[in-house]
Structure formats: C-alpha cells, structure tokens
Amino acid sequence: MAPCEDFRFSFRAAEPFPEFHRDRMAMTFSLETLGCLAYANGFSVWIYNCDDDPRSAVISPDYWNDAAATIAHGDLCIVGAKDGATILRLSVTDGKVTASEMVRSV
C-alpha cells in the first residue's frame, strides 16, 4: 500500500472528522493538519495548515520530527502558515526531519 493511503487510513481510523485546535500552542507540529495530496513512485506531496505558526517556525530544526515515520526523504509539502504560504522539501535522516524552503509567498 502507498504511504499516503496507509497514512490516511490510520488517520481516519483514529479520528474521522478531525477538529482543528485553535487553542494549541504556536510552533507545535500537528499531525492532524497534515494531508497527502499525491503519491507516486515513493514520492509524496503533502499539504499542511498551521495558521498559528509563522514560516520561520515551520522551517526550524525539529519542527517536523513527529512526522518522521510518515514523511519520506525528498517529499514536498505545501504549507499555509500564519504569515504566508511556502513549499518545502523535506529530508529525513535518522528520525530527524529537515525542511528546506523552495518557494514562499511575499
């Protein structure tokens, strides 16, 4: 089964209609707002909504580590942050996720 399908299945089984928690602390990754847009040949494109976090937090070290088991090295993520949108390239090494900003809104 493709990683996106596997992720969505386990996510839906846990909570079919996720609540978007506006009261959560800023600069905290939330797996419930990460969704898979596309998957092909071991590569995924994700979408992530983090209205409470600025782009600088989203690209900071360790922000994505909770998703290390879900994300594959080289995946892309379209992010809607508090201060604009960005496209990230995600790299996974030894359970640590690094985000590199490829494109951002002005």
pLDDT for 3: 52
Contact at 8 Å (CB) between 100 and 89?
A: yes
Give pLDDT, residue 99.
94
Per-residue pLDDT in tens (0 to 9) along the chain, 106 residues: 455 554 444 443 344 434 444 444 446 888 889 999 999 999 999 999 988 899 999 999 889 999 999 999 999 999 999 999 999 999 999 999 999 999 877 6
Instruction: Quote the CA–CA distance of 88 and 102 in Å, as a whole number.
Output: 6
pLDDT at position 24: 40
Q: How high is the pLDDT of residue 17?
A: 39
Tokens of 15: 């909570």
Q: Around 66, how many Cα atoms within 13 Å sit in the side-chain half-sphere? A: 10
Domain ranges of the chain: 3-17+26-104
- Helices marked H in 36-78: 55-58
Give the C-alpha separation, 67 to 39, whole Å. Answer: 16
Q: What share of the chain is helix, strand, coil (3-state, %, to 5)?
A: 20, 40, 40
pLDDT at 15: 41
Inter-residue contact 51 to 17 (CB < 8 Å): no
Query: What's this model's pTM, rounded to 2 decimal places?
Result: 0.72
In this prediction, residue 52 carries a pLDDT of 86
